[in-house]
Amino acid sequence: MCRFGLIPSWSKGPDPKFTNFNARAETVEKAAPFRNAFKRHRCLVPASGFYEWRKEGETKQPYYFYSAKGPAFTFAGLWDSWKGPEGDVESFAIITTDANEAMRPYHDRMPVILGADTWEFWLAQGGKELLRPCPNDALEVRRVSKRVNSPAQDDAGLIEAA
């Protein structure tokens, strides 16, 4: 198990002001927090879906994005291990890219979603050419309850249509 929010091995430790949840595909090779992980520590991050919020009137409305082609997505990720005072902390980040046409009405970025045919290549070589938007027909989306905004809420109903 890894902690979400990459802590580079060279850092002094977690910094709440600079949490590295997402690595931009365009700069992942050069950005200090991700550069070494991109070369040496690529990973696959399974996810049943993800949320994005869109401003509608005066409020933000959450939407749930899920796979149109199977039970889950596999995101391109990076991991690292930081030696903390209480032992090693393994952490990860997902890589994001420009939104595809299906995603663009909701957000200008999206996770890099890898097909099963690319997993081995990603892990072994990390081809930057894989860091692009997935096909539009790979995503399904539905409006969900604003209950997702509360960390106290944690049940299957969060992904049901609202």
Pairing of strands 73-84, 87-98: antiparallel
Say how many CA atoms lie within 13 Å of 135 toward its Cβ: 6
Q: Are 50 and 22 in contact (CB under 8 A)?
A: no
- What pLDDT does residue 154 have? 92
Threshold 0.85, pTM exceeds: yes
pLDDT at position 55, please? 94
Residues 53-79 as b/e (b if ≥16 CB within 10 A, e otherwise) read: eeeeeeeebbbbbbbeeeeebbbbbbb
Low-confidence ranges of the chain (pLDDT < 70): none
CATH topology of domain 3-159: hypothetical protein yedk fold (3.90.1680)
Residue with tokens 């749930």: 64
Cα(30)–Cα(26) distance, rounded to whole angstroms? 9
Task: Enumerate the domain spans of the chain.
Answer: 3-159
Question: CA 65 to CA 68: how far, in whole Å?
Answer: 9
Position 4 scores a pLDDT of: 94
CA angle 133, 105, 103 (to 5 degrees): 25
